[in-house]
Structure 1
Amino acid sequence: MFVSRMENHCFLLLVFVFQAIFILILYRGGPSDVFRGFLESPQVVDYSKPHDVYTNLSLFTRAPNEDTMSYCSAQSPVLVGPLTITFRVLPSERMIMERNPFVQPGGHYRPPHCFARYKSAILVAYRNQEKYLHHLLYYIHPFLQRQQLSYTIYLIQQVGTGSFNRAKLLNVGVREAMKDEEWDCLVLHDIDLVPENDYNLYICDEYYPKHMASAMDKFQYTIHLAGMKIVRTSPHLGRYRVIDYNEVTEIQEPWRSYSSSLRPPSRHNTRKTWKADGMNTLQFRLLSRTKHPLYTKITVDIGYVPPSS
């Protein structure tokens, strides 16, 4: 009798466990989301011992023959984790080019030693922020190369007198980037944010939009306004440094002149206008599309955008 009751209790407990797992799967959005949560469980990351952002890049050499190349490993063997980020010295374009010899015109890169498993386009909205741009390029190129990605950096520049409309510029970037490649991932990047950990992979989630900067919430993203589900990179990986112009105390090459790099005021009210800023209603005038050594620059006129009241 005692054994029978014990078996009954064990059976009920087992049923309860399965029910809890089933409810969790439904609540979290499906089996893949649950298991993703297990894989991205918090880890101990020591940010007190960062690495130089160009660590291990010298290990990448061009393969003697593409016929003998294979696909890159599923996880890059040269990732280092936390990175040393400082803005005390303003890097010149020449220096960034010298330190990234495998970056091709237009800011395109593919691993020289293996076939990339992922292709990502990095889209950056831009308006007269050259100093921020140089800091971002200095850090983002080696960051992406150590992840063994095939990527291109797109700079979408707004001209005209309207208020800075980041959302519309990024929509333009999506449309223009898709003319070049069937990208696996489109990363919408802020020009004044630099990632601090190269395990924060710039690849997309299989099902949902992914918020890379989980430890830096700066904007009211349209996906929240639309009620869409969002996948967040774990906070211990999604750390970013905000470029602080006050830290820039030295220019490495004094002969180079720089335009004003004050961050344009983002007064455009996304909460009021996001439904009209989508791809279906996108209107702009493409003024130029040029390949610079470290990025592809797309200059557009999106029309007059009045500041929000």
Structure 2
Amino acid sequence: MDTAVNTKLPKCDYEQIIFGNEFAYRGAYFRELLNLNEIRQGGEFIPSECRPEFSTAIIIPYRHRKDQLEAFIVYIHNFMRQQQIHYRIFLVEQNDEKPFNRAKLLNIGAVHAIKEKFPCLIFHDVDLFPMNVGNLYVCTAQPRHMPVYIDKYHFNVVYKDYFGGCVAMRTETFQIINGMSNLFFGWGGEDDNCFDRVKSKGFKICRFGPNYSKYMMLPHKKEIPIVHLKALMENAAKQFHTDGLNSLNYTEKIVILQPFYTHIRVEL
């Protein structure tokens, strides 16, 4: 697949996108994928009218959320193409009967994105929808927590150190913190562990204001929680250097370049 950017094109102008900050959460972006021919096999988009400054991999951990996935894929492609950045969507599906391991799936997606030389990784839950186009899907110098204000919580901050739902992180930063823990089978704790990893390496969390950090969340049934979460959190906190990207193991069943995303199916 040819992913080269045309260097003869003028640079994309992001000032108007950021300051215009178009409201995107509306019916037109949900109903159908607009201008399908712009999206390359595997869910990749490269602006054709200008030269993008940013290149981002969107990594989605997934299992058993078909309706949400279909809605998200339509919306996110319509949303992101307004931002004039180069991006590709990686869907990592857990294809076994073990409890869902969100963090391990994100590590797997990161490995694939790193192979494709993406400098920016965005780890994105399938039930979260950004509301304003000025919320550029790019990485800042420090790791960025993106859904600061969510409708489910009445657009209030969930808690001070909340680092879940959607996070943007430079690839080199994710490698420095050794990715996420592979130990969290079940719901809860992995995002707090990631927050601690980030802090342990001297990084600070970046958050934008409410005009750029509002999200809508689709309803879904709760995942099965981890029974001994406190003990797991304490154990995982001691293993930042040995548990993560450098200890990642899984069985890759298949990688398919679907029309609108790269589908990575794995067993953990």
Task: Tell me the TM-score normalized by structure 2.
Answer: 0.71
Structure showing greater radius of gyration is: 1
Q: Aligned match of 1:196 in 125, 131, 138?
A: 131
Describe the superposition over 1:26-72 as per-residue Cα deviations: whole angstroms up to 9, x where unpaired. Answer: xxxxxxxxxxxxxxxxxxxxxxxxxxxxxxxxxxxxxxxx5752221
- Aligned equivalents of 2:149, 2:37: Cα separation in 1: 32
Quickly say closer, same or farther: Cα 1:230–1:179, change in 2 above 3 A.
Answer: same
Describe the superposition over 1:166-206 as per-residue Cα deviations: whole angstroms up to 9, x where unpaired. Answer: 011000100011112x2231000010000011111111112
Q: Does the CA contact (< 8 Å) of 1:109 and 1:152 recur in 2?
A: yes
Quickly say closer, same or farther: Cα 1:75–1:280, change in 2 above 3 A.
Answer: same
- Aligned equivalents of 1:205, 1:223: Cα separation in 2: 17
Question: Which residues of 2 match residues 205-224 of structure 1 at below 5 A?
Answer: 205-206=140-141, 208-216=142-150, 217=158, 219=164, 220-224=191-195
Task: Say yes or no: does 1:232 pair with 2:207.
Answer: yes
Q: After alignment, is 191-200 or 265-274 more displaced?
A: 265-274
Q: Aligned match of 1:82 in 7, 20, 23?
A: 23
Structure 2 partner of 1:108 = 44
Structure 1 partner of 2:170 = none
In structure 1, stretches of 5+ residues that fail to align are 1-65, 246-261, 303-309
C-alpha displacement of 1:266: 5.4
Q: Which amino acid aligns with 2:147?
A: A
Q: Which amino acid aligns with 2:265?
A: T
Question: Which residues of 2 match residues 53-64 of structure 1 at below 5 A?
Answer: none
C-alpha displacement of 1:74: 3.8
- Aligned equivalents of 2:257, 2:147: Cα separation in 1: 28
Q: Does the CA contact (< 8 Å) of 2:57 and 2:88 recur in 1?
A: yes
Structure 1 partner of 2:59 = 123
Structure 1 partner of 2:10 = 70
Quickly say closer, same or farther: Cα 1:76–1:173, change in 2 above 3 A.
Answer: farther
C-alpha displacement of 1:138: 1.6
Task: Tell me the TM-score normalized by structure 1.
Answer: 0.62
C-alpha displacement of 1:84: 2.8
- Aligned equivalents of 2:14, 2:25: Cα separation in 1: 25
- Aligned equivalents of 1:236, 1:68: Cα separation in 2: 34
- Aligned equivalents of 1:227, 1:294: Cα separation in 2: 31
C-alpha displacement of 1:109: 0.3
How many correspondences in the alignment?
214
Q: Aligned match of 1:271 in 216, 233, 248?
A: 233
Q: Secondary structure at the match of 1:221?
A: helix
Q: Does the CA contact (< 8 Å) of 1:106 and 1:291 recur in 2?
A: yes
C-alpha displacement of 1:289: 0.5
In structure 2, stretches of 5+ residues that fail to align are 1-5, 151-157, 165-190
State percent identity of aligned pairs: 28
Q: Does the CA contact (< 8 Å) of 1:156 and 1:299 recur in 2?
A: yes
Quickly say closer, same or farther: Cα 1:162–1:183, change in 2 above 3 A.
Answer: same
Query: CA RMSD, aligned part only?
Result: 2.7
C-alpha displacement of 1:264: 4.4
Q: Secondary structure at the match of 2:80?
A: helix
Q: After alignment, is 157-166 or 236-245 more displaced?
A: 236-245
Describe the superposition over 1:138-167 as per-residue Cα deviations: whole angstroms up to 9, x where unpaired. Answer: 211121111111000000000111110101
C-alpha displacement of 1:267: 3.7
